[in-house]
């Protein structure tokens, strides 16, 4: 089990540039989450996919943020254009949702530290 | 809506001291409760969980009991080690209002620093 794989680990970019963060969930997991972590706001849920379909994107800050999950093994989070206030650590997590009787814990990647100057 | 409240940190202890990190929750349904731990430079990882009232989750010497009457899930360890220094997150997972899927809610995290 390779775990959740995120890339890149670190990203430094200038304001206005497009940033794409990537995530490979654990094979067999059917739920995928994107979180943002900052000192000020803690851990914030941005978007949640179930079976590759976006279920809840109410946490996406604004139209500059978009996320896709074209298949069960890959997801991207894109920021265009980026701003300094987007600087944070972005985590991807996956789980296997077995229905209403049982729910599984999340497995997190090691995150992408984004710095926008 | 759902929410999780944790004691603010940092919590600073000497090695072998007793640890308690308080966690209370508000949920519309009957949630499962979790503690996650985050070591520096890493993502969160599951420490323990409990899925129904009076269940006790335990792992690596840590314990927490699901108390429905007080809506609490306090984390305890009898004797902490320097290697336990990390940030600890309390979380709940409850059925979403729509879609029949579970949406997790995390607390703000509590930093633990253990000195030799």
pLDDT digits (tens, 9 = 90+) for B52-105: 999 999 999 999 999 999 999 999 999 999 999 999 999 998 765 545 566 788
Q: Rounded to whole angstroms, how far apart are CA atoms A73 and A94?
A: 10
Q: Rounded to whole angstroms, how far apart are CA atoms B74 and B83?
A: 20
Return the residue in B10, B43, B88, B111 with the most chain A beta carbons within 10 A, the one to mutate for interface testing: B43
Residues of B whose CB is below 8 A from A32: none
DSSP assignments along A10-30, one per residue: EEEE-TT--EEEEEEPPTT--
Instruction: Give B44 to chain A, closest Cα distance, Å.
Output: 6
Average pLDDT over residues A30-53: 93
Instruction: Give B70 to chain A, closest Cα distance, Å.
Output: 23
Average pLDDT over residues A104-112: 92
Q: What pLDDT is recorded for position A99?
A: 59
């Amino acid at each position: 089990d390779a775990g959740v794989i995120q890339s890149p680990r670190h990203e430094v970019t200038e304001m206005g540039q497009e940033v794409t963060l990537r995530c490979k969930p654990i094979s067999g997991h059917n739920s995928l989450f994107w979180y943002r972590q900052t000192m000020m706001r803690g851990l914030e849920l941005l978007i949640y996919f179930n079976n590759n379909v976006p279920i809840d994107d109410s946490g996406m800050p604004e139209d500059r943020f978009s996320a896709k999950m074209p298949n069960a093994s890959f997801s991207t989070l894109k920021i265009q254009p980026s701003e300094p206030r987007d600087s944070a650590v972005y985590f991807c997590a996956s789980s296997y949702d077995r229905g209403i009787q049982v729910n599984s814990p999340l497995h997190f990647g090691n995150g992408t530290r984004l710095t926008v100057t | 809506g759902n929410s999780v409240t944790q004691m603010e940190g940092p919590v600073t202890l000497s090695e072998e001291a007793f640890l308690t990190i308080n966690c209370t929750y508000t949920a519309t349904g009957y949630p499962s409760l979790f503690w996650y731990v985050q070591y520096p430079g890493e993502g969160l990882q599951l420490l323990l969980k409990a899925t129904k009232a009076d269940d006790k989750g335990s792992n690596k010497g840590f314990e927490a009991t699901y108390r429905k009457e007080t809506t609490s899930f306090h984390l305890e360890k009898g004797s902490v080690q320097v290697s336990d220094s990390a940030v600890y997150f309390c979380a709940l997972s409850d059925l979403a209002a729509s879609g029949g899927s579970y949406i997790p809610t995390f607390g703000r995290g509590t930093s633990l620093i253990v000195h030799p």
